[in-house]
Amino acid sequence: MKWLLGNIDREFPDGEVENAVADIVEKSKELNNLEWYELALSCIDLTTLNSTDNHFQGEKFALKVSRFPDEFPGLPNVAAICVYPTLIETVKKNLKIPGVNLASVCAGFPSSQTFMDVKVLEIKMAIDKGATEIDIVMNLGNFLAGDYPAVIQEISLLKRACGDVHLKVILETGALKSYTNIWKASVLAMQSGADFIKTSTGKSEPAATPEAAWVMCCAIKNYYEKTDKKVGFKAAGGIVETSDVLKYVAIVKEVLGDEWLNNKLFRIGASRLSNNLLTSIKGESVVYF
């Protein structure tokens, strides 16, 4: 706690973030080839989080992922399928291939505005049903009110409920308004036990931005240098085109290095992006997922 409170603030001079991101975006053009398309594909959390989702959608997702190696031999499969808790059992039943994780959004997603007992119970139920990763949203009300002890306590309790299951903490960076807040939220989440920090729910605007990603990756690097603990980064929300995702790949590569360029430490929350990456890889229109 002393380390956290002594290092939680970081000021960003005018232009620092924008200039750094502009340089990296320019470098991302060098990644416009099959190697990096495939890397991005392997890091996708194939996601459906719509109010109209049903068990047929969960079954469809799982079967598509299960058949992927036969349909696209030689290409890496996605890293995970991410769904609401009610679809976990259906996805697990129909996911016939090893190596693909089953992620669930929990704990009052997307607002985090429910009782703590409900949040803990939902996480435990999701894991009991078969979830191997849990995505939650930081309580933005507490964070923006400056009640950092409450933020720390909540994430710590939810991580405890996860046990060995990876916990991804969504910062909802578009609501944080400043780079200093994004940095601060990143540090709080990591100090509280997050295995990943994630940009956005995709339910509000702005969602993921390269600028927010750069700040978060810098915070991850700083945290790693101080603790020797590697925390993962997940970009999610509005990432659709191949050129868009390469910007995030380039940011991770530039700030965190090649050690983070794998789906153990880097994820991309997306659905439409998967087909666009496949189109870029195959050189023809692909609509598979």
**Residue position matching structure tokens 């306590």:** 153
Residue 6 in this model has a pLDDT that exceeds 60: no
pLDDT digits over 194-223, tens only? 999 999 998 988 899 999 999 999 999 999
Distance from C-alpha of 157 to C-alpha of 63, rounded to nearest angstrom = 34
Query: What is the mean pLDDT of the segment spanning 111-127?
Result: 97
Q: Is 198 a residue of the active site?
A: yes
Residue 8 in this model has a pLDDT that exceeds 80: no
To the nearest whole number, what is the mean pLDDT of the chain? 95
Alpha helices (H) in 10-54, listed in sequence order: 16-28, 34-42
pLDDT digits over 27-69, tens only? 999 999 999 999 999 999 999 999 999 999 999 999 999 999 9
Domains and CATH numbers, the chain: 2-282 (3.20.20.70)
With a pLDDT cut of 70, the percent of the chain lying above it is: 98
Q: Which of 45, 135, 195, 244 is catalytic?
A: 135
Q: Which of 119, 159, 234, 253 is catalytic?
A: 234
User: What per-residue confidence (pLDDT) applies to 204?
Assistant: 86
- Sort residue 193 into left (φ over 0), alpha (ψ -120 to 50) or beta: left
Distance from C-alpha of 229 to C-alpha of 219, rounded to nearest angstrom = 12
Q: Which of 159, 168, 198, 247 is catalytic?
A: 198
- How would residue 188 be classed by pLDDT, with cut points 50, 70 and 90? very high
Model's pTM, two decimal places? 0.95
